[in-house]
Amino acid sequence: MKEDRQLAKYLAHLGYGSRREMEAAIRRGRVTGQGEDLRFDGEPLDPPPGMVILMNKPAGFTCSRADQGRLVYELLPPRFLLRDPPLSSVGRLDADTTGLLLFTDDGKLLHRLISPKSDLPKTYEATLARPLEGHEADLFASGTLMLRGEDKPLLPAQLEVTGERTARLTITEGRYHQVRRMFAAAGNHVEALHRAAFGPLTLGDLPEGEWRLLTAEEVASLG
């Protein structure tokens, strides 16, 4: 039936399998329900294209599919990697950085969030190798700090000292290894880095290594 072929195509785009496999799954009764209550093997169907995922990234995982070693995508259901349009991380956290990481298959949203014109604040908690000296907050807020190898100063950033060797830094850019390079420019070294917030989003009580879908309201809050 035409409806079954259309459903098989839709399921294939969600990553459940090839169209032929989905046609067979429909014939075998693995797809049940109707409309918004569709289920696959008794489980609610994955969201349609446009979903956004929030993950509490653990250390030791990289964000590029081409890298060697453990990848953040391994923490998601394997079928998510087969979705069309594809699922991608919103920017990257390096392997040693933990915390809030977003994924989406919405290309327009992805490009808007990673665009240099995006001014969404991102907050990081840093543990440093040496005690803070007291000049860092003014330096980061000045709007004149130039990172090594670059010819454009950083936008002002807000530093909150939380301990002798700990601080919370909020930036509105996303340059390569920016937070680590900022502290290096201030004469220090980041030993541990955790992203605590992305715009209005925080991790809440989400355990490390776990993920959840954003609500429509949360997605809208990203602007």
| Catalytic (active-site) positions | 94
Provide DSSP, the chain.
-HHHHHHHHHHHHTTS--HHHHHHHHHTT-EES-GGG-EETTEEPPPPTT-EEEEEEPTT-BS-TTSSS-BGGGGS-GGGGG-SSPPEESS---TTEEEEEEEES-HHHHHHHHSTT----EEEEEEESS---S-HHHHHHSS----TT-SSPPPP-EEEE-SSSEEEEEES---TTHHHHHHHHTT--EEEEEEEEETTEE-TTPPTT-EEEPPHHHHHTT-
**What residues contact 40, with CB distance under 8 A and at least 6 apart?**
11, 16, 25, 30, 31
Distance, CA of 200 to CA of 181 (rounded, Å): 25
